[in-house]
Chain A
Amino acid sequence: MSLPRVLLERLSVRHLRNLSHVDLEPARRVNVIGGNNGQGKTSLLEAVYLACTSKSFRTARPAELIQHGSDTGSARARLADYGDDDGPAPIAREQTVAVQGRRVQVRTDGNRPASLAEFATRSPVVAFHPDELTLSTGPAQGRRTLLDRLALFMQPTSGDHRARYQRSLRSRHVLLRRPSPDEAEILAFERLAAHHGAAITRARAAAATALIAELLPAFDRIAAPGLVLGACYAPGGTADPDEAIEQLARHRARDAHRPTASFGPHRDDLALTLDGHPVRAVASQGQHRALTLALKAAETASVASARGVEPMLLLDDVSSELDPDRTEALFTFLGLTRGQLFLTTTRRDLIVTPGVDAADRRDFEVQDGKLHAVR
């Protein structure tokens, strides 16, 4: 039995980036958003992502989202979870995210959700944008973030643990740098860092297990045959809080002179190997891309099974993927997903979707912050 899919039925954007007033009525399967660079295509995907998660995939500073000259920006989405059969239409919900200054206010059907995690996992969405092309070989931060997005679906408190871990660790660092730090004070924050750090380690380990189970088969389908991919969670901390307390206490002197602690889940990675060697050292450009696409396919599949709903998929700027060698990998990737798709491109004409009903595809053009339906 296949999972229901979350569908965006309507989106209203007000004063976000260069989008003053945009209303989008998407198709149920494929939505192609064309336009030249700088016109607002990515901002439209960002608005979808914002309405579903309360976050941007481009910036951690909400104030950047507000259009110049406005004090509030907002995205309002009408969403529903559709099953495959022709049963009664599901009841739609309205998710609203308003940004004012540095504050972000979220509502589901006009009500405050119990938690931000509940809001952010209600309508699952996976975004794939050009910054993530380095997901397989770039800094570990990208892979940690991927695990954290998945962990939020499997363990909703994990986001809270991360915020608390960071604050505890920063507090400890400030204390360590004082000329004569108070031992009892440092210990208090180390105990908190150890507690929240251990919770992160457990959540990421579970997320990695779920992700890797999807990653290996996805890579086999996307990459050239014969390559053996290896993947494992490489923790920088421990799931045992007592051990973490000991480690933090032991490295105080050294940590005081470093930018951050030398032990803990902020040093985690998802270690990837090809034929037994670290991918960074051995993989070709094509293999990197295949691996990155496989990571995103695995994220999509594991979010789907954790949430029980097929996520929407946002692909930003797929133009770079459209030379013939790469197209095949991209379309294999898309074939692995079943969710509603939004993709932006400067070359709409190159997006061919032979398996998709004409009624299930809609094309749009974005020009100077205005959206036009073209097909």
Chain B
Amino acid sequence: MLAAGSYRGSPRVGSSTAGLPEGLARVVQLLARLPGVGEKTAQRFALHLVTGDEETARELGRELATLPDRVRPCVRCGNVAETSRDEAEAAEGAVCAICRDGRRDPALICVVARVQDLIAIERSGAMRGRYFVLGRLLSPLEGVGADELPIDRLRSRVRDAQAPVTEVLVATPPSVDGEATALLVARELGTLGVKVTRIASGVPHGGDLEFADQVTLGRAIEGRKSFG
């Protein structure tokens, strides 16, 4: 499931940043936008950078300034990808190492909610195909609707004439929102004549794939079942 704290609005001005020098307060507010970082933690990080560790602050600044140009979401699957140094290639967008790996089975795609889940599944070593990252889960209670999922992109990926896909394995987490997303994806792809499978429920209920151990995750992938 997506962490509840990952979508926050603009940082609250006032309370914990009041009285701080303006530049520092802005850094605190920016850090507090990160998932799982509250204002207290953000303040601790920022104070550490200005009072104890000048070198880290400068280096972090340099790296962050160019990071979005060097690493982008893969245009094919949504995984993190390094942008090419070749200008012509870079213009077509970044392609990740997994999508470029010729030994991968092009006929199998694993659909995940987040890049973290992709990394966890990669670590299990059980996935020989490629991926598609949805970026979010269907969640009426958190205001995420079907129109916000990249279903059209997934459909055109599956229909790609140059690399025909025969199986789509849906590995969204086993939460209610994850299951509903899996049902929706299965329905949307059902008309394309592709086999849609779901990871076996070896992953603990309500658990995060990110935290499932590699053996469990490997078994869940090997024991996948067709949608009924």
Q: Which residues of A come within 8 Å of B, CB atoms? A: 115, 157, 160, 163-164, 167-168, 170-172, 174-175, 182, 184-185, 187-189, 191-192
Contacts and interface: CB of A to CB of B under 8 A. Distances in A.
B89 interface: no
Interface of B: 138-141, 145-147, 176-177, 179-181, 183-184, 187-188, 204-206
A20 B204 CA distance: 36
B184 A171 contact: no
Contacts of B139: 171
A174 B180 CA distance: 14
Contacts of A163: 206
A192 B176 contact: yes
A175 B184 CA distance: 14
Nearest to A174: B140
Contacts, number: 52
A188 B183 contact: yes
A374 to B, nearest CB: 46
A173 to B, nearest CB: 8
Q: What DSSP secondary structure best describes chain A's contact surface?
A: helix
Contacts of B147: 182
Contacts of A164: 176, 205
Nearest to B151: A184
A160 B205 contact: yes
Q: Dominant SS at the B interface?
A: helix
B188 A171 contact: no
B141 A167 contact: yes
Contacts of A170: 140-141
B177 to A, nearest CB: 8
25 contacts: A160-B206, A163-B206, A164-B176, A167-B141, A168-B176, A171-B176, A171-B177, A171-B180, A172-B140, A174-B140, A182-B146, A182-B147, A184-B184, A185-B140, A185-B145, A185-B146, A188-B138, A188-B180, A188-B181, A188-B183, A189-B140, A189-B176, A191-B183, A192-B176, A192-B183
B20 to A, nearest CB: 24
Contacts of A172: 140
A160 B176 CA distance: 11
B146 A171 contact: no
A191 B147 CA distance: 20
Minimum-distance CB pairs A-B, first 4: A188-B183, A174-B140, A188-B180, A171-B140
Contacts of B179: 192
Nearest to A185: B146
A174 to B, nearest CB: 4
A204 B176 CA distance: 21
A192 B164 CA distance: 31
Contacts of B176: 164, 167-168, 171, 189, 192
A182 B145 contact: yes
